[in-house]
Amino acid sequence: GAGVSQTPSNKVTEKGKYVELRCDPISGHTALYWYRQSLGQGPEFLIYFQGTGAADDSGLPNDRFFAVRPEGSVSTLKIQRTERGDSAVYLCASSLQAGTNGEQFFGPGTRLTVL
């Protein structure tokens, strides 16, 4: 079946603009995660959803970042007043169930560039 898909694959925006990044998890996966990967670094956890609710948003760097998953499937990561330091690849992952028993399947990411 289809894997995790993310759109757009690339997003270029100007400093101060608002962006939305979309994630379509694997069908039936209840857990969804967002990570951010800066150049030459490993992915860094941002937020985790179990169903519709954000179970853990401790990785969001500040209040400019927000994510939703209103129907328990598709999720959108929203970044307000973008800054150049937000430039990174934003990865989404999903798992059948939360926790260490559920392998996290990653999407290809959205490369965000803030000019």
Partner 1 sequence: QQQVKQSPQSLIVQKGGISIINCAYENTAFDYFPWYQQFPGKGPALLIAIRPDVSEKKEGRFTISFNKSAKQFSLHIMDSQPGDSATYFCAADFSGTYKYIFGTGTRLKVLA
Task: List residues near partner 1 by CB under 8 A.
Answer: 4, 31, 33, 35, 40-45, 48, 55-56, 58-59, 91, 93, 98-100, 103-109
**If you write DSSP's letter for every residue of 46-64 in order, what string do you get?**
EEEEETTEEEE-TT--STT
CB 19 within 8 A of CB 2: no
Beta carbon nearer to partner 1, 7 or 16: 7
Shortest distance (Å) from residue 66 CB to partner 1: 18
User: What gap in Å lies between CA 43 and CA 70, rounded to an integer?
Assistant: 25
Shortest distance (Å) from residue 47 CB to partner 1: 9
Q: In a 3-state reduction of DSSP, which class is residue 84?
A: helix
Beta carbon nearer to partner 1, 41 or 80: 41
- The H-assigned helical ranges of the chain are none
Beta carbon nearer to partner 1, 66 or 106: 106
Shortest distance (Å) from residue 60 CB to partner 1: 12
Euclidean distance between the first and final Cα of the chain, in Å?
37
Shortest distance (Å) from residue 96 CB to partner 1: 12
